[in-house]
Amino acid sequence: QSTVCEKIVELLGQNAVERRQRKVQILSQDSFYKVLTAEQQAKALRGQYNFDHPDAFDNDLMRTTLKNIVEGKTVEVPTYDFVTHSRLAETTVVYPADVVLFEGILVFYNQDIRDMFHLRLFVDTDSDVRLSRRVLRDMKRGRDLEQILTQYTTFVKPAFEEFCLPTKKYADVIIPRGVDNMVAINLIVQHIQDILNGDICKWQRGAMNGH
């Protein structure tokens, strides 16, 4: 889902725009992982903590941040360090935008959060592709292959099937094949362009969701 959001922003030409001036912003659910206890952090470093469970997220902070974004306020978003599994003191400023793409594995899980979104997108990617991307991403974060695969079979895959996949029913649009589906992505880009051009008035300062 992050890859799809990045492609959308790229096609809209927003990457060349100074961050404060962007009309489209991306916000990731990954920024809202809870602060771990010492015991939980030790488990995380051994690959024994479930980051794909709904309880892994600070939903209160996520809810408040999204509410402020919908109201057109500038917000400070936590910065999460995936190497040390800790929330850093520094934050990322997200400025008001006409469209905010909020992406993550469980963004549809809580009703009060998903009800904030004006359009819900579910990126439906092949399981082999999900695994390969996970391996590449986590190896860049300094983890060894055995730990990554163990974590995938123990936590990631079961959590996807139990918590993520059932939320597909809440999507307004399903994008098969993820970032490879340029037909679907171009349709979304055109829709956002219409919003930015003022053709869809009710979408001003709207929130679009990429799952």
Contacts of 140 (CB under 8 A, 6+ apart): none
pLDDT of residue 210: 57
Q: What is the pLDDT of residue 211?
A: 55
Q: Is 30 one of the catalytic residues?
A: yes
Q: How far apart (Å, rounded) are the C-alpha atoms in residues 86 and 11?
A: 33
Looking at residue 205, what is its pLDDT?
46
Domain coordinates of the chain in residue numbers?
2-210
Residue 79 token pair: 């910065």
Cα–Cα separations (whole angstroms), residue 130 to 85, 133, 135, 178: 21, 5, 9, 10
How far, in Å, CA of 12 to CA of 61, rounded?
29
State the pLDDT at residue 204.
45
CATH 3.40.50.300 is right for the domain spanning 2-210:
yes
Place of tokens 């991306």: 26
User: Which one of the listed residues 30, 58, 98, 124 is annotated catalytic?
Assistant: 30
52 contacts 105 by C-beta, under 8 angstroms = yes
Per-10-residue mean pLDDT of the chain, 211 residues long, equals: 91 92 95 96 94 97 96 96 94 94 97 95 92 90 90 95 97 93 95 84 49 55
